[in-house]
Amino acid sequence: MTTARRTQKERREQAETALLGAAAELVVEQGVRSLTLARVGERAGYSRGLVTHHFGSKQALLERLALATQTGFVPGLDGLPPGLDRLLRLIEGYLGALGEVGVLNRAFLLLWAEATTAPELAPIFRQRDEAFRADLREDVAAGIADGTIRPDVAPDEVAIAVVGQLRGVGLQRLLDPRAVDTERLRRSVTEHWRRALARSRPAPLTR
């Protein structure tokens, strides 16, 4: 019985992964307005009925796709406590990951940009951006509390600026990959935020 349940779970996860991948491909190729449950099922090799069974509606599919494309984009952060180090690692990791953007991440950035004019996307990406900003605010607030970030820094303003910068670099990378050197940006942008946020240490006493 346990083996059968596990096999069924694995099949469901495999099908969902295939369907989300197919949806991402269609978004990248033709945009969100061309996305239908039937076309997603056809691209993935499944029936529309299975797509409906997994997601219920196009809106639910888009919500799941937005979550799946953002989850795990910067690995290795889960074990780090909030603070300046985690914030800088997130910035560096995000920019580094843009150097090898796969179809899921391309779909996320395109959907994010399209959310400004697509009513079905706007609430999804407002929620995703707010979750991103909340994580960044937590890092800044923790850095202020432990003394590694200047006390005059405004966490909300930093969060808005960082999200805007990272998303903007990502969109430029999609538009003109040759013009955006993510490896150089990974170092320079991270160092910029380090200098902007870090609390300066007092100079050592001299005799």
Cα 29 to the chain's mean position, in Å? Answer: 20
Q: Which pLDDT belongs to residue 113?
A: 86
Q: Which pLDDT belongs to residue 201?
A: 57
Residue 98 and residue 172 in one domain:
yes
Evaluate whether residue 48 is within a structural domain. yes
Residue 180 and residue 95 in one domain:
yes
Residue 149 in contact with residue 160, Cβ under 8 Å? no
Residue 55 and residue 87 in one domain:
no
User: pLDDT 10s per residue in the chain (207 long)?
Assistant: 444 556 777 888 888 889 999 999 999 998 888 889 999 999 999 888 888 988 989 889 888 888 777 665 677 788 899 999 999 999 999 998 888 878 887 888 888 888 888 888 888 889 889 999 999 999 999 999 999 999 999 999 999 999 999 999 999 998 898 999 999 999 999 999 999 999 875 444 444
Evaluate whether residue 206 is within a structural domain. no
Evaluate whether residue 125 is within a structural domain. yes
Question: Where among 22, 40, 66 does a domain terminate?
Answer: 66
Question: Where among 49, 66, 83 does a domain terminate?
Answer: 66
Q: Which pLDDT belongs to residue 206?
A: 47
Residue 108 and residue 146 in one domain:
yes
Residue 36 and residue 105 in one domain:
no
Residue 86 and residue 184 in one domain:
yes
Residue 31 and residue 124 in one domain:
no
Residue 101 and residue 79 in one domain:
yes
Residue 84 in contact with residue 60, Cβ under 8 Å? no
Residue 66 in contact with residue 124, Cβ under 8 Å? yes
Q: Which pLDDT belongs to residue 5?
A: 55
Evaluate whether residue 131 is within a structural domain. yes
Residue 56 and residue 84 in one domain:
no
Rounded Cα–Cα distance for residues 106 and 102 (Å): 6
- Looking at the structure of the chain, the number of domains it has is 2
Residue 31 and residue 77 in one domain:
no
Residue 80 and residue 58 in one domain:
no
Q: Which pLDDT belongs to residue 22?
A: 93
Question: Where among 34, 51, 66 does a domain terminate?
Answer: 66
Residue 50 and residue 88 in one domain:
no
Q: Which pLDDT belongs to residue 72?
A: 58
Q: For residue 57, give the CATH number of its domain.
A: 1.10.10.60
* pTM (predicted TM-score): 0.80
Name the amino acid, one letter, at 19. Answer: L
Residue 36 in contact with residue 59, Cβ under 8 Å? no
Rounded Cα–Cα distance for residues 182 and 161 (Å): 18
Residue 83 in contact with residue 143, Cβ under 8 Å? yes
Evaluate whether residue 205 is within a structural domain. no
| Helix (H/G/I), strand (E/B), else coil: 198 | strand
Expressed as residue numbers, the domain containing 161 is 72-197
